[in-house]
A and B are shown apart, each in its own frame.
Chain A
Amino acid sequence: AQKVTQAQTEISVVEKEDVTLDCVYETRDTTYYLFWYKQPPSGELVFLIRRNSFDEQNEISGRYSWNFQKSTSSFNFTITASQVVDSAVYFCALSEGTSGTYKYIFGTGTRLKVLA
Chain B
Amino acid sequence: KAGVTQTPRYLIKTRGQQVTLSCSPISGHRSVSWYQQTPGQGLQFLFEYFSETQRNKGNFPGRFSGRQFSNSRSEMNVSTLELGDSALYLCASSLVGGLTDTQYFGPGTRLTVL
Same complex: yes
Chain A positions near chain B (C-beta within 8 angstroms): 31-33, 35, 37, 42-47, 50, 52, 91, 95-97, 100-109
A43 near B45 (CB under 8 angstroms)? Answer: no
A102 to chain B, nearest CB (A): 5
Chain B contacts for A107, CB-based, 8 A? 42
Could you list some 30 contacts between A and B, CB below 8 A? A31-B99, A32-B99, A35-B102, A37-B105, A42-B107, A43-B88, A43-B107, A43-B108, A44-B105, A44-B106, A44-B107, A44-B108, A45-B90, A45-B92, A47-B102, A47-B103, A47-B104, A47-B105, A95-B99, A96-B99, A97-B99, A100-B98, A101-B56, A102-B56, A102-B97, A102-B99, A103-B45, A104-B103, A106-B42, A106-B43
> Which residues B39-89 have CB closer than 8 A to chain A?
42-43, 45, 56, 88
Q: Among the listed A33, A42, A43, A47, which residue makes an inter-chain contact with B99, where contact means beta carbons less than 8 Å apart?
A: A33
Chain B contacts for A46, CB-based, 8 A? 105
Chain A contacts for B106, CB-based, 8 A? 44
Interface size on B, residues (CB 8 A): 21
Chain B positions near chain A (C-beta within 8 angstroms): 33, 42-43, 45, 56, 88, 90, 92, 97-108, 110
A33 near B100 (CB under 8 angstroms)? Answer: yes
Who on chain A is nearest to B100 by CB? A33
